[in-house]
Amino acid sequence: MYKLKEIAPQVYYVGVNDRQKALFENMWPLPAGVSYNSYLIVDEKSVLVDTVDICYSDIFLKKIADALNGRLLDYLIVDHMEPDHAGSIRLLRQQYPNVQIIGNNKTFGMLQGYHGITDGLHEVKEGDKLNIGKHTLSFYMSPMVHWPEVMMTYDETDKILFSADAFGTYGTLDGGVIDTEMSVDHYWEEMIRYYANIVGKYGNPVQKTLQKLAGLEIQTICSTHGPVWREQKNKAIDIYDRLSRYEGENGVSIIYGSMYGHTEQMAEAIASSLSENGIKKIVMHHVSKSHSSNILKDVFKYKGVIIGSPTYSNQLFPDLEAVLSKIELREVKNRLFAYFGSFSWAGAAVKKLDAFGERMKWETVGTPVEQKQGMSVDNYEACLLLGQAMAERINQN
């Protein structure tokens, strides 16, 4: 029998840890795994908030049965239909055939599409309430944070916000569940990486949701990934606020490709100049070694972005082009941009990086550097000037 963590009186954590999956969404590395969080309120009526990935449904269903101790499950609230949270709904329905599923109109179309479920549904709209005994739950639509059907559930009694994927992080819960029970230092970078990889495109919807939630008294945030935020809830909200406004820290990401080291020499010179001119937060990503997951994180984290590429078959270096596509997809705004490139007989990379900056509507800083073949004294000095220009522009912020 599972001993379940009580988040608040009658509110239990029934989530699971996934230490097996290598890639989240088959794209994003999970060196420290990930948790799928679900919560059960056992009141006069019993309510489950979201489910878990189907791979862990056996453990999940056993936890629910232990917590209910012979009772039936009255309601399932579906805040988010993504399969890592909704994957076990069909099996849950088989175990509790009379459970009423609470969601919005967009939820029910996805329920039918994923699970063939069309009956036993209870639709809620913005601000609707559900009284289940001591607890009263209210519902807030949060479309495109980060799917169109997303909503959040607020427990008015214990001031708990069940926030779907918002404020979530990569990383398993290794013993503790609530932030007061553990060291959470390592989760902050993973929260930024999670946001950049998964939510990043949807800054405006995140801002609208934060404005909507500003009128609520929130004591605890229960996300579907990572720790339950209580002591650190304001920091979690602040990170989402800054990221969704594309407010970068005063630092620089240098992102480059290099086949034989010549473009890398340019990147090294630029980094040295940045440091000499007072920039302490500098990260360098060779795209053939750094995973795009971490590159995206730092593009969201830092104000300055410097990109370099050799010309490859009259195009950008392929691995760099793939990263730029991911950045462009996320529509990252308000970055300071500089760029450089190299070629052996015909240059094209610098022109293509210029076009990328134009499409992103980023502010171009300094004079681009284009190097033919090996590093010359003039090119080296130009790289130093490029780094200096970026440092001076950042220091103006």
pLDDT, tens only, 42-76? 999 999 999 999 999 999 999 999 999 999 999 99
Give the per-residue pLDDT at 127: 94
Q: Are residues 152 and 266 in the same domain?
A: no
Whether residue 161 is found in the same domain as residue 261:
no
Rounded CA separation 325/318 (Å): 11
Residues 39 and 155 grouped into a single domain: yes
Domain end position, chosen among 229, 244, 259: 244
Exposure string over 251-286, b if 16+ CB within 10 A, otherwise e = bbbbbbbbeeebbbbbbbbbbebbeebebebbbbbb
Q: Are residues 112 and 258 part of one domain?
A: no
**217 and 117 both lie in a single domain:** yes
Give the mean pLDDT of the chain. Answer: 96
**Whether residue 279 sits in one domain with residue 238:** no
Residue 146, preceding peptide bond in cis (omega within 30° of 0): yes
In a shared domain, residues 18 and 43: yes
d(CA 104, CA 90): 18
Higher pLDDT pick, 92 / 2? 92
Task: Give residue-wise pLDDT tens across range 112-160.
Answer: 999 999 999 999 999 999 999 999 999 999 999 999 999 999 999 999 9
Q: Are residues 207 and 286 in the same domain?
A: no
| Domain end position, chosen among 191, 209, 244 | 244
Q: Final residue of a domain: which of 244, 268, 299? A: 244
Domain carrying residue 264 = 250-395
Annotate 118-134 with b (16+ C-beta within 10 A) or e (fewer): eeebeebeeeeebebee
66/118 Cα distance (integer angstroms): 28
Residue 302: the pLDDT is 98
Check whether residue 71 and residue 157 sit in a common domain.
yes
User: Could you read off the pLDDT of 324-352 as tens digits, one per residue?
Assistant: 999 999 999 999 999 999 978 877 899 99
Total count of domains within the chain: 2
pLDDT confidence of residue 1: 66
Tell whether 190 and 258 lie within a shared domain.
no
For 205-259, write each residue's pLDDT tens digit: 999 999 999 999 999 999 999 999 999 999 999 999 999 999 999 999 999 999 9
313 burial level (CB within 10 Å; 0-12, 13-18, 19+): exposed
Q: How far apart are CA 383 and CA 313, in angstroms?
A: 24
The pTM assigned to this predicted structure is 0.95
CATH code where residue 189 lies: 3.60.15.10
Q: Clarify whether residues 236 and 300 are in a common domain.
A: no
| Shared-domain flag, residues 214 and 291 | no
- What are 315's two structure tokens? 């195009």
Q: What's the confidence (pLDDT) of residue 169?
A: 98
Rounded to an integer, the average pLDDT of 87-107 is 97
Residue range 276-283: mean pLDDT, rounded: 98
DSSP 8-state secondary structure symbol assigned to residue 256? E
Region 21-26: what's the mean pLDDT?
Answer: 96
Mean pLDDT of 73-100: 97
